[in-house]
Amino acid sequence: MVAYGLKDKVVLITGTNNPKGMGAAMVLSYAKQGAKVAMVYKRMSFDYDEASAKGDCVDSYFKALSMDCSEVEHSISSHTRDYLAIESDISVAENIPVIFDKIEAKLGKVNILINNAAGYPVQDSIFNIRLDDIKSTYETTVQGTIMMIREFVKRGYGELIESGFRDIQETSMGVGTYKPLHTDAQYGRIVNFSTDTAQIMSGQLAYGSSKAAVEAFTRSIAMELGYLGITVNAIAPGPTQTGWMNPELIQRVLPDIPIARIGTPQDIADTVLFLTSDKASWVTGQVIKVSGGHGL
């Protein structure tokens, strides 16, 4: 196992209740690194057929997203006692300070924020998208992620967040906000989650476009927070087996993947570990596709 120097770092990961998901893989990976792990999840409300929810398929995936975090908690309990699971909805802005309060009370100040939670409309084509689904997707994926980042920064640099920028001329549309590195810079890493459907959106209108927004504000926030020593990057996974891809779907997708295999949650977790380590201290504002070449 590669040692990333993350022992005793406090990591907050959203979207962690699917035992086969990327969130669960990251939780376990950080626990093995000796980090203190906070899991934030929401039990989603999807219609699924219980009888069909066996093996890897959409029904199994929807069932997993409706679960609590107990199975994921059990998977890390043999590696660490320094963990906390919080059921909460990040699309409700008032919930976010409460999340951070609970984590700080048990684990300490959050050093690493991983925004993995997202909204998933079932009907996501221009022909059937519903207004409520657009709103709920953006409230979680865009609003929720931004407000999680704002709270993360506010906890360490509250006086700067409250003051804001005096005027638009403090920023440059070309090169961002340049200020000397803050003398009290603390360890800070933010990783947001996009998807390669942010570029290939057919049939994923609200989901894909919300992820494109994530990529845009990842770059903007990286420019604003660089002088604080905080790096901000995004991961854009390709087709990854998180319990939703049946064998027939995999066979249809494989010809579009140069590496000729479906991604695993561990592929994603390994990249995130690197981005949140000291080894990536000069990497910021990047959207990294972890896709086996899918969508090139």
Contact of 223 with 172, CB cutoff 8 Å: no
**What's the pTM value of the predicted model, to 2 decimals?**
0.93
Of the given ranges (32-36, 66-70, 159-163, 238-242), which has the lowest mean pLDDT? 159-163
Judge whether 202 lies within some domain: yes
Residue 263 in contact with residue 240, Cβ under 8 Å? yes
25, part of any domain: yes
Overall domain count for the chain: 1
Higher confidence at residue 169 or residue 220? Answer: 220
Provide the token pair at 46.
């999807």
Rounded to an integer, the average pLDDT of 222-238 is 94
Domain annotation covers residue 2? no
Per-residue pLDDT, averaged over 60-79, amounts to 93
In a domain, 107, yes or no: yes
Q: Is residue 3 part of a domain?
A: no
234's CB contacts (< 8 A; 6+ apart) are 191, 192, 193, 194, 214, 215, 218, 286, 287, 288
Q: Is residue 137 part of a domain?
A: yes
Structural domain includes residue 295: no
Give the span between the Cα atoms of 168 and 224, in whole angstroms.
13
Residue 12 burial (CB < 10 Å; 0-12/13-18/19+)?
buried
Q: Which two tokens stand for residue 179?
A: 């200020």
Q: The tokens of 25 are what?
A: 């893989």
pLDDT of residue 153: 95
Q: What pLDDT score does 186 carry?
A: 80
Report pLDDT for 168.
Answer: 44
CB 155 within 8 A of CB 187: no
CB 156 within 8 A of CB 109: yes
Tens-place pLDDT, residues 160-189: 665 555 444 455 444 555 667 666 678 999
Instruction: Give the pLDDT mean for 37-61.
Output: 90
Residue 4 belongs to a domain: no
Q: Is the pLDDT of residue 279 over 70?
A: yes
Domain harbouring 132, CATH code:
3.40.50.720
Query: What does the alpha-carbon distance between residue 24 and residue 191 come to, in Å, rounded to a whole number?
Result: 15
Domain that holds residue 25: 10-172+181-290
Highest mean pLDDT among 27-41, 65-79, 184-198: 27-41
pLDDT of residue 169: 46
